[in-house]
Structure 1
Amino acid sequence: MNYLELLPWDIQADIFLRLDPADRASLRQACRHMRQLMDDPTFWRHQMVRLSSIRRFREPLWRLIRQRNIRHVEVHPTAKDLSQDAASHRHNLVWNDLQWDELAENIPLLETITTPLKCDKNKGLPEGMRSLEHLEVLNVHSILYADDRLFCDISQLSSLRKLSVEILCVDVIVERTDALRQLARLPNLEELSLSFRRYVLLPMSKLALQHLLYHLPKLRRFALRKCSFRFPDISGMFIAPPVLEDSPPMPERDPNVRSNFAQLTVEEGASGESEKPERISRLNLEELDLSGTLHHVLNEEAIAALQSLQIFRLQTHGIDELLESFLTSCLTKWANLRELDLRNATAPAEVFQHVPLSLRIIHLNLTEIEFGLSIEALLKLSERCGTTLTDLHLYGCTNLNKIGNLPDWFPNLHRLSLHGDLELITRDILCRLSEMEFLQELDVRECKVQPGKDVWQILASLMGPKTRIVIESEPQT
């Protein structure tokens, strides 16, 4: 192994490429040098690279980047960086403006960026990032402070299709100036994820979010995570505003910021106001994530406005008493729902008799449900869509001795994941899972069995190569 580490990077990469995934994982576990080089450019895949810093990059390395046609960059501190800076905040590890200028100069065709970000007062995105005309996906996170300039800068990136923003502290000017409304200038936005932690948002933010939802015609996926509002009912956000809405004017653009916003030509009959986003009559959302945000159930009008949903994720806070009626109403009206994520919600068993026949994937939390009721929940789910369900993810299935009935209740599963302590479950019961004829993946990474039990190896031999059993987390390639 020591001799392997002495080989040139390109030769190591060639050897690495010839290994199957299992051998790669084994090599990483046995070879510390390989683990350290996982993020080295010679191991990049799919035009994507993870970088911690580019301060020492020289022309040969930039030439290698251009040869590999890199289009996606993730900025992530290495384990060494984190250990050296353990006492400081993560934002101290973010790139400075000079690094972003250098990256944009060398990779002007970047399409995706994932990075922590540091925004000072009256300072949003770095100039280098704003100059990327082909940027389609932007994920900025761990932002300790942000004012309206951040949203003004983001609104200049007219080619954006996916946007994710995580802010830990929001300046009050963001709400008083309707800064969020500027995101409506992104005509191609299909996916929007917002997270405002440790801050109570004012009612004006709800109006701004309502404006966004009804002025982004291509928006299909919306996530509002870990947000708190002064008035917790956010139903109005999803209800169509009045047709004669006298909405505040869009904030004017900063003349000092270069705009990439696509302008219509004069021949097409464009006017100076063509930049104003067009209002849609109804929502066309396909995916909604309200994890950590929904502190009050949505009313019937809001539920009806979301009838196009196909994926719904929920984490409840203080609405358990109303959860049954709320979920019943949702499941009754959302006829196209195909994925339901309740891993962080305690749903009563009666709810599952209303799941739509279109449901294919479900994440179910059994932790807080009494033992008998957890079985009842699975039975009702089986009666409703047992033969059509393809993915079942069970959380808190501690000592669920009816786990051996899953092949009978859900015979056509493709993926099954189990989370919990199964030390009291016999090997014979667990081996009944091998009767799932169509199972492609069994995820038991978060599953505890009796010490020394070889049940997963036995299951693997019973199921054969058609089923992949995931026992330990595998490092990313």
Structure 2
Amino acid sequence: MSVLAFHLPEEVWLQVFLLLPDEEKMSIRACCKYFRRLIDRPSLWRNRAVVLKKIRSYNSQFWATLRRRKISTVVVHKAGIREWESIVMSLPWLTAVTIEQCSDEEVLKTLQRFNSLKKLVIRSSQCPSGLASALTPLRQLTHLCLCELQRAPRTELISAVSQLADLNSLFYHEGDKPISKRTFQGMLARLPNLKQLSLKMGPGYGTLPEDYFSLSKTNYSKTGREGLNQNGLGLTRLELLNYMDPMLSPRALEPLMSLQSLTVGYRDRVMEPGRCNLRAWLSKLPCLTELTISRGYPLGVYVHSVPWTLQSLSLLQVFMHPGDLNALGNQTPNLQHLHLDLCSYDGQSGLQELPNLFPKLETLKLRHCYMTELEFVGLAQLEHLRQLVILDAYQGPSPALLKLIQKLQVKTNYRVQVIHTPKARDPTACLCSQY
């Protein structure tokens, strides 16, 4: 490298390094002390998660590097009390911790020593008997995810969660059946700041009460929330996983008037349109701007109920018939973000009309294998398109796809970022929520 390169301002190098994947940053870091110092700057590692495995093999230099980078998020696999002591001593300022495969009650007690802890994810674990008592002191938590816990004492857990009044995000994926109405409403009434809720509904259960999401006046008065809207919760984001009708009634979501984002992950595909409660739900959500549907009913069953307020739509493993895309375009004139990963009876017919149907699209995710060259290059007509994600270039782009991308780039004067490599999985995320 030219000596002149080292005379560039550090700010310029930092901006360059921000654009690089971690592997390339590590290669450059090994070049010299100057780059090592720059790449260890905390600004390059903000909001990045470090996965910790076989912690006993880490030496003092490793922990010193994490301290220099001010790492605040970690994912910990199969660690005992000794390993957790090392984490607490080296990174006491952690704000987000994900624990995987832990059944040691003493380990959970160490969480109290992270005074800045805001986000806690516990997943894929044999639930220790002391989990509830370990959660109770963590009053500062704003995000909690309990996922795939085996033999969890539901009553004790929900009682502990109910005491975390600062929670604004709760992912409760414990058990194989939904929480009873009385217990569910009692918990939510004590979480006044909750905005995001994710529930794993479980297999066939029957129909829950129609007012499942409507808190009673009794619940409000017990918790001093009389001044709030008593028609329901203040949720803005709701996720229903492993769901099948008729577990919730057609009117179940009516109290959630402030809902802005809805995700429904059906357990399987459903072909009987008469059972679809999604149509009724969508017609009663005036603030909805984001919708994600996985599996479930064919698009045509509910397409005419999709609200015009939508700005972001994801359809994953959903059947689409000819004409459904046209109907969707008529329903969503303001759509800016579209993710299509369909199971279509008739290919992905209608994609040539995308620029006319969704003229405001800024991001688009889809498979290219069913698209003709005319359809693919025709995406250049989307004047606001900034990012195109190709979902089916698993082994890297083929020569034919690269040619199509080049033609699209030329037509758009290279304003569209085309992504064809799979996005890395967020190591801190709940596995239930990932498609």
Indicate whether the TM-score tops 0.5. Answer: yes
Q: Which residue of 2 aligns with 1:188?
A: 166
Q: Which residue of 2 aligns with 1:353?
A: 304
Q: How do 1:266-345 and structure 2 match up within 5 A?
A: 281=230, 282-317=232-267, 321=272, 325-345=276-296
> Is the 8 Å Cα contact of residues 75 and 98 (structure 2) preserved in structure 1?
yes
Counterparts in 2 of 1:160 and 1:229: CA distance versus 1, 3 Å: farther
CA deviation after TM superposition for structure 1 residue 70, in Å? 2.5
Q: What is the distance in 1 between the residues matched to 2:137 and 2:286?
A: 37
TM-score by length of 1: 0.72
Report the 3-state secondary structure (helix = DSSP H, G, I; strand = E; otherwise coil) of the residue aligned with 2:137.
Answer: coil
CA deviation after TM superposition for structure 1 residue 405, in Å? 0.8
The counterpart of 2:406, out of the listed 457, 472, 476, is 457
> Is the 8 Å Cα contact of residues 409 and 416 (structure 2) preserved in structure 1?
yes
Report the 3-state secondary structure (helix = DSSP H, G, I; strand = E; otherwise coil) of the residue aligned with 1:292.
Answer: strand
Q: Which letter does structure 2 place at the counterpart of 1:146?
A: C
The alignment status of 1:109 with 2:93, answered yes or no, reads: yes
Deviation track 1:258-290 (CA, whole Å, cap 9, x = no partner) reads: xxxxxxxxxxxxxxxxxx786863301111111
The alignment status of 1:152 with 2:152, answered yes or no, reads: no
Q: Which letter does structure 1 place at the counterpart of 2:159?
A: R
How many equivalent pairs are there? 398
Q: Which residue of 1 aligns with 2:51?
A: 51
Counterparts in 2 of 1:234 and 1:132: CA distance versus 1, 3 Å: farther
The alignment status of 1:416 with 2:364, answered yes or no, reads: yes
Report the 3-state secondary structure (helix = DSSP H, G, I; strand = E; otherwise coil) of the residue aligned with 1:416.
Answer: strand
Q: Which residue of 2 aligns with 1:381?
A: 328
The counterpart of 1:369, out of the listed 306, 320, 335, is 320
Q: Which residue of 1 aligns with 2:63?
A: 62
Q: Which letter does structure 2 place at the counterpart of 1:107?
A: L
Q: Which residue of 2 aligns with 1:132?
A: 114
> Is the 8 Å Cα contact of residues 100 and 127 (structure 1) preserved in structure 2?
no
Q: What is the distance in 2 between the residues matched to 1:350 and 1:226?
A: 22
Q: Which letter does structure 2 place at the counterpart of 1:321?
A: E
Q: What is the distance in 2 between the residues matched to 1:315 and 1:60?
A: 44
Q: What is the distance in 1 between the residues matched to 2:23 and 2:310?
A: 38
Q: What is the distance in 2 between the residues matched to 1:26 and 1:133?
A: 32
CA deviation after TM superposition for structure 1 residue 434, in Å? 0.7
Q: What is the distance in 1 between the residues matched to 2:183 and 2:11?
A: 52
Counterparts in 2 of 1:27 and 1:244: CA distance versus 1, 3 Å: closer
Report the 3-state secondary structure (helix = DSSP H, G, I; strand = E; otherwise coil) of the residue aligned with 1:167.
Answer: strand
Q: What is the distance in 2 between the residues matched to 1:102 and 1:411?
A: 54
Percent identical pairs in the alignment equals 20
Q: Which residue of 2 aligns with 1:218?
A: 193
CA deviation after TM superposition for structure 1 residue 214, in Å? 2.1
Counterparts in 2 of 1:400 and 1:450: CA distance versus 1, 3 Å: farther
Q: What is the distance in 2 between the residues matched to 1:323 and 1:317?
A: 18
> Is the 8 Å Cα contact of residues 338 and 365 (structure 2) preserved in structure 1?
yes
Q: Which residue of 1 aligns with 2:348?
A: 400
Deviation track 1:204-252 (CA, whole Å, cap 9, x = no partner) reads: 65532222222200000000136347545365542324627999xxxxx
Counterparts in 2 of 1:287 and 1:200: CA distance versus 1, 3 Å: same
The alignment status of 1:118 with 2:93, answered yes or no, reads: no
Deviation track 1:34-78 (CA, whole Å, cap 9, x = no partner) reads: 9xxxxxx94961164413243244444434433332322233xxx
Q: Please, what is the CA RMSD of the aligned residues?
A: 3.7
CA deviation after TM superposition for structure 1 residue 189, in Å? 0.2
CA deviation after TM superposition for structure 1 residue 432, in Å? 0.6
TM-score by length of 2: 0.78
Deviation track 1:301-354 (CA, whole Å, cap 9, x = no partner) reads: 422122221111112247653567522211211000001111323244252223
The counterpart of 1:98, out of the listed 79, 82, 93, is 82
Q: Which letter does structure 2 place at the counterpart of 1:436?
A: L
Q: What is the distance in 1 between the residues matched to 2:221 and 2:192?
A: 20
Q: What is the distance in 2 between the residues matched to 1:324 and 1:464?
A: 48
Q: What is the distance in 2 between the residues matched to 1:50 and 1:300?
A: 43
Counterparts in 2 of 1:303 and 1:96: CA distance versus 1, 3 Å: same
Q: Which letter does structure 2 place at the counterpart of 1:432?
A: G
The alignment status of 1:240 with 2:215, answered yes or no, reads: yes
Q: What is the distance in 2 between the residues matched to 1:190 and 1:323?
A: 35
> Is the 8 Å Cα contact of residues 124 and 150 (structure 1) preserved in structure 2?
no
Counterparts in 2 of 1:204 and 1:218: CA distance versus 1, 3 Å: closer
Counterparts in 2 of 1:30 and 1:472: CA distance versus 1, 3 Å: farther
Q: Which letter does structure 2 place at the counterpart of 1:195?
A: H
> Is the 8 Å Cα contact of residues 187 and 277 (structure 1) preserved in structure 2?
no
Q: What is the distance in 2 between the residues matched to 1:26 and 1:70?
A: 17
Q: Which residue of 1 aligns with 2:430?
A: none
Q: Which residue of 2 aligns with 1:445?
A: 391
